[in-house]
Every structure is written in C-alpha cells, then in structure tokens.
Amino acid sequence: MSTLPGKILFGDICVDPSTRSVRRGGADLKFSTREFDALVFLIENAGTLLSHDEIIACVWSGIAVSNNSVEKIVAKLRKELGDSSSAPVYIKTVHGKGYVFIAEIKSGEISSDARALGPADFKPSKLVRYGFAGVIVLSTLLFIGWDADLFFTRLTATRIISDDFSSEPMDTRLWTIRGKTASVDDGILRLRVEETDNGPRLFSRWFAFDRKKPITIRSRLRVAYSRNLKDTVYFTAFFGLQPHTSTELEDEIIDHTMFGVAYTDYDYESRWPDGSIKEVEAEGFFLTRRGGQPHMKIDYQNGNISERIEPVWDKWFDQTIVYDPQSGDMKFFIDEKLRGDFNAGPFSTDIGRDELRIEVNPRGWWLYHEIDIDYIDIYQ
C-alpha cells in the first residue's frame, strides 16, 4: 500500500504500488520488501533530502540498524534501475546527509511537465517524524491483511538482534558458526553443505525475552538443493528457535527442543508396521516443534509437524515467524502473506531465566545444498 497515485513513470521505469511491482524497459525487476519500500519512500518524497535515520524509520519500522543497511539497499536500487552514484539520474547522494530522488516523475495524477530536481530544490524533511508515521501504520495494516499479531509486534517492537551481514568478517558478538562451509560475501551469509550429511550450523547469541509478548523473527533468504543421479532428494534444513537448558547436552538431544520452520525434500523407503516397504516423500515447508522432522512418520503421529506449506525453492523470499511464548501459537509468513499457523507449545525450560537462540542448519545426503541469508531481525 502506498500514497502514490497509481502507476509512477520515470525514465524507462514503471512502478506500480498496487501490485508492488517494478518494470524497466518491459522487464520485471525483483526487489525485496524492504528494497521496494525504500524506493517508494524516496519517490513519495521526491526532491526532499531524506536522512539515513528517516529511511530506517520507514523501511525498518523503527528497528535500529546501521547506516550500512541503508547504503546497501540504495546500491541495490541503483544497480537494478540502471543508475549511478557518480552521475545519478534517479537517486542522488548528499554526502554526510542522506539521499534525494531527483528524477522527473510522471503518472495519471502528476503533471507530465514536472522537471528534474536539483540541489537547489533540497529542503529538510519533517515528514517521517511527524506526519508520515500514520501513513506507514495504515499502509502496513492494509498490506499485511490486518493480521493483529504481525502488526502489533511491529508497532510496539523492541529490537533484540538485527544484522544484515554487511560487516566482514561476521559479527562474532551475535553469531557462532560450526563447520567450515559458511561465508559472508557482499552482504550475504551463505551456509553450504559440501560434505554429505555434515552441513554448517549457525547459532545466534542467547537472548532474554518477555514471556508475555510475541517474538518476531524476520529474514530474507534463499533455499536451494541438488539431486543425485537417480533424481532422488535427501535434503532437509531448519530455521528456528532453541530454548536454553541448564544441562550440556549432545546436539542430537538439543535438537529435540527446537521449534521453527523445516525446509524439506526427502525421498526414501521405509518399512511400515505391517512389514511392507513404502516410499516416503516429504516435499515442502513445514512448521515443527520438539525437533520434529517432516520425513519421520513418528513425528506426524506425535503432532510435531504442521500441514505442508507450498515451498519457495531457489528464489529469494521474505520470511516472518511470530511465536507467542504463552500460548505456543506460531505463525509463518512468506512475502508478508500468512502461510501457516501451528502450535509449537508454550515456552518451557529447566533454568530460572527465559532465554532463546536462533539456529539455522542445512544438511543432506548429497552435496551443494545451501541457505543464503540477506538479513535476520529479532524483536519483541
């Protein structure tokens, strides 16, 4: 949802806020939710100098992130739009101050003789701090379909962990990695399986939380896997939460405490109680609890696996997980649309404090499975 009046044209670019689409010379451009929001925000304030803080307040809904996050998004916008930082025609950098959209804008409601704006037209903006917040709230409500959990966690959220992986090497104050097949390249964290059934594991630091408030985890990622010569897949990956226990346990035991999302394409033969051999196929995204695995029949019997969610393979998508520690309800969104609702169980631990951490873990029986992550935000 946007305050822009219909389709917006500038240069050979067409932006359609109603469908959240951008075309350049007839070809579709692919932007993440945040990248699109940043572009629309710049266009809506054409001719107005926007600071890093103002862009963060709009695009990250008030979550505190570094200026590098804004710079990375602006760089992506310029690359896709065919713009240049040294000779800009769309987005101009005002060093030490921020960015301004300078292109000539055309639409059904905007006069076609609007001229390109230059430095003399720059004026300080108060729109975000005083008036634009209300528009953002309303736009967010309409765009996400008025989902109360997702909206109110954003509206009242306090940041716990936020990282766009723009720093190299990775911030070891926030993350720990087991395994050698993980790297940060150009702002993307890549977790690759290059040894059969031995993928890397990403852990966040332990973080404290309030049991009375939902926890929201937002991320942008891409999940990809390979097949063997027989066209059989042995791939599963996990992205979710792990409670802090008082006992040092083996990984296999700790895994049984985890809950979150499993990305699975796993084909195999299983012997059933009647002695028959049956093909088992688990392909899709699934919400899980107690370390449930979608390719294990017993986890279905124990109610540890949700219904299948249509997967997104080998494409970037925005993922949101909302978990209520009191009720145990967990909601799963892909590109802001609710795709799954599952009860992962109320939070329970054997220690005297409430702490969780994120784990991401791809693995499989064949090589070159991968999870790429653009950013992870955790807030409550």
Q: Residue 187's closest CA among 29, 68, 362? A: 68
Domain 148-379 has CATH 3.30.43.10: no
**Predicted local confidence at residue 142, as pLDDT:** 45
> What share of the chain in percent tops pLDDT 90?
39
- Looking at the chain, the number of H-run helices and the number of E-run strands are 7, 22
pLDDT tens digits along 90-122 = 999 888 789 999 998 886 433 333 333 333 334
d(C-alpha 52, C-alpha 92), whole Å: 13
**Predicted local confidence at residue 140, as pLDDT:** 45
**What's the whole-model pTM score?**
0.62
**Predicted local confidence at residue 68, as pLDDT:** 78
Confidence of residue 6 (pLDDT cuts 50, 70, 90): confident
In this predicted structure, the answer to whether residue 145 has a pLDDT above a threshold of 80 is no
pLDDT, mean of residues 85-89? 86
pLDDT, mean of residues 300-309? 90
In this predicted structure, the answer to whether residue 62 has a pLDDT above a threshold of 70 is no
d(C-alpha 103, C-alpha 92), whole Å: 9
Residue 267 phi/psi, 5-degree rounding, is -115, 135
**Predicted local confidence at residue 236, as pLDDT:** 87
pLDDT tens digits along 236-252 = 899 999 998 876 554 55
Cβ atoms of residues 23 and 14 within 8 Å: yes
Q: Measured on CA atoms in the order 55, 61, 67, 71, is the torsion positive or negative? A: negative
In this predicted structure, the answer to whether residue 29 has a pLDDT above a threshold of 70 is yes
What is the residue extent of each domain of the chain?
A: 8-143, 148-379
Cβ atoms of residues 225 and 329 within 8 Å: no
**Predicted local confidence at residue 138, as pLDDT:** 47
The four Cα atoms 142, 335, 156, 322 give a dihedral, to 10 degrees, of 120
**8-143 in CATH: which number?**
1.10.10.10
Q: Residue 264's closest CA among 241, 216, 296? A: 296
pLDDT tens digits along 256-278 = 789 999 999 887 666 666 777 66
Name the least confident of 25-34, 111-120, 308-317: 111-120
pLDDT tens digits along 347-370 = 988 777 899 999 999 987 766 789
Give whichever of 62-66, 68-72, 130-134 has the largest mean pLDDT.
68-72
d(C-alpha 283, C-alpha 263), whole Å: 8
d(C-alpha 254, C-alpha 290), whole Å: 9
**Predicted local confidence at residue 319, as pLDDT:** 95
The helix (run of H) or strand (run of E) holding residue 68 is: helix 67-81
Q: Measured on CA atoms in the order 316, 176, 330, 217, is the torsion positive or negative? A: negative
Q: Residue 378's closest CA among 214, 172, 259, 212? A: 214
Neighbours of 233 (CB within 10 A): 22
Higher per-residue pLDDT: 41 or 67: 41
d(C-alpha 345, C-alpha 331), whole Å: 12
**Predicted local confidence at residue 326, as pLDDT:** 95
pLDDT, mean of residues 180-205? 85
**Predicted local confidence at residue 301, as pLDDT:** 80
pLDDT, mean of residues 62-76? 82
Name the least confident of 197-206, 226-235, 286-295, 325-334: 226-235
d(C-alpha 238, C-alpha 264), whole Å: 9
**Predicted local confidence at residue 272, as pLDDT:** 63
d(C-alpha 300, C-alpha 122), whole Å: 60
| 371, two tokens | 């999870």
d(C-alpha 217, C-alpha 320), whole Å: 6
